């Protein structure tokens, strides 16, 4: 049986890229959002780019935030990409005063670097022998700083070492864009899909 997933539109832009990647990988996905919310029957893939505060406000207003938190706490597998990773945390330096979903302890912090955002391919170092190292494509000014070191799945360097992906319980999340990271990125997505089927 082929894995079916819910592609959650949380109001962050650029959902086209991940949709087309899923089509290339021949994954059956259902597009869900605040109007037609997920019900936990399928794993959740939450992509998006955008400002932390704006996306959280959107989720709060539509009450999709509560639904996502409930589903994740109930054990529904969750893959977050970019803003889909950042909303999991308690807050972000990008939007002081706006609480995140607080599903993962820690904050989202800004790069200390002459060039922000980081745009381009960076080398991932794996902290988990089941996940391969490789190059991934980033477009980000902020990155996650999980309170628990063991949540870090991948690290990379930009003005120093930073957490590039997390894996904790039923949550996996990438700061980079696997759908834009060539064959290596596709492999990571396939790996997650295999793990939730």
Partner 1 sequence: MSVDGLCKRIIPCLDVANGRTVKGVKFGNLRDIGDPVELGLLYEEQGADELTFLDISATHEQRDTVVELVNKVARNLSIPFTVGGGVNSVDTVKRLLGNGADKVTINTAAVSNPQLIDDIAIACGSQCCVLAMDVKRSGDQRWTVLVKGGRLDTGHDAMTWARQCVERGAGEILLTSWDKDGTLEGFDLELVQIFAQALPVPVIASGGARDPQSFVDVFQRGNADAALAASIFHDGTYTVAAVKEQLHKAGVTVRLC
> Whose Cβ is closer to partner 1: residue 38's or residue 48's?
48
Report how far apart, in Å, the C-alpha atoms of 51 and of each of 10, 11, 59, 139 are: 12, 10, 12, 13
> Whose Cβ is closer to partner 1: residue 131's or residue 176's?
176
Binding map of partner 1 across residues 73-112, x = CB under 8 A, - = no contact: ----------------------------------------
Joined together, the tokens standing for residue 66 give: 């509560």
> Whose Cβ is closer to partner 1: residue 114's or residue 149's?
114
> One of 113, 155, 179, 187 is an active-site residue; which one?
179
Asked if 179 is an active-site residue, the reply is yes
Residue 67 and residue 98: Cα distance in Å, rounded? 18
Span interacting with partner 1, options 12-20, 65-73, 84-92, 102-110, rule CB under 8 A: 12-20
Joined together, the tokens standing for residue 2 give: 């082929």
> Whose Cβ is closer to partner 1: residue 77's or residue 144's?
144
Residue 194 and residue 197: Cα distance in Å, rounded? 5
Residue 133 in contact with partner 1, rule: CB under 8 A: no
Binding map of partner 1 across residues 26-55, x = CB under 8 A, - = no contact: -----------------------xxx----
Residue 164 and residue 49: Cα distance in Å, rounded? 15
Residue 60 and residue 56: Cα distance in Å, rounded? 6
Q: Which residue has the tokens 């922000």?
A: 116
Span interacting with partner 1, options 66-74, 95-103, 143-151, 153-161, rule CB under 8 A: 153-161
DSSP per-residue string spanning 12-72: -B-HHHHHHHHHHTT-EEEEE-SSS---SSS-EEE--BS-HHHHHHHHHHHTHHHHHHHHH
- 57, 62, 98, 121: residue in contact with partner 1 (rule CB under 8 A): 121
Q: Hey, which residues are catalytic here? A: 82, 177, 179
Residues that bind partner 1 (CB under 8 A): 13-14, 16-17, 20-21, 23-24, 49-51, 113-123, 135, 137-140, 156-161, 177, 179-183, 185-186
């Amino acid at each position: 049986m082929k894995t079916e997933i819910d592609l959650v539109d949380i109001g962050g832009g650029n959902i086209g890229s991940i949709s087309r990647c899923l089509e290339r990988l021949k994954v059956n996905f259902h597009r869900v959002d605040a109007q037609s919310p997920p019900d936990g029957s399928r794993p959740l893939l939450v992509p998006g780019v955008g400002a932390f505060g704006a996306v959280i406000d959107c989720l709060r207003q539509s009450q999709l935030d509560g639904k996502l938190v409930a589903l994740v706490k109930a054990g529904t597998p969750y893959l977050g990409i970019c803003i889909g990773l950042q909303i999991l945390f308690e807050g972000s330096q990008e939007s002081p005063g706006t609480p995140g979903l607080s599903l993962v302890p820690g904050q989202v912090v800004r790069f200390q670097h002459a060039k922000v955002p980081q745009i381009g391919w960076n080398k991932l170092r794996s902290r988990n022998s089941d996940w391969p190292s490789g190059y991934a494509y980033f477009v980000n000014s902020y990155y996650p700083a999980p309170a628990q070191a063991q949540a870090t799945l991948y690290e990379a360097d930009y003005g120093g070492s930073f957490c590039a992906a997390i894996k904790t319980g039923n949550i996996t999340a990438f700061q980079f864009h696997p759908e834009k990271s060539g064959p290596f990125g596709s492999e990571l997505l396939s790996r997650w899909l295999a793990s939730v089927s």
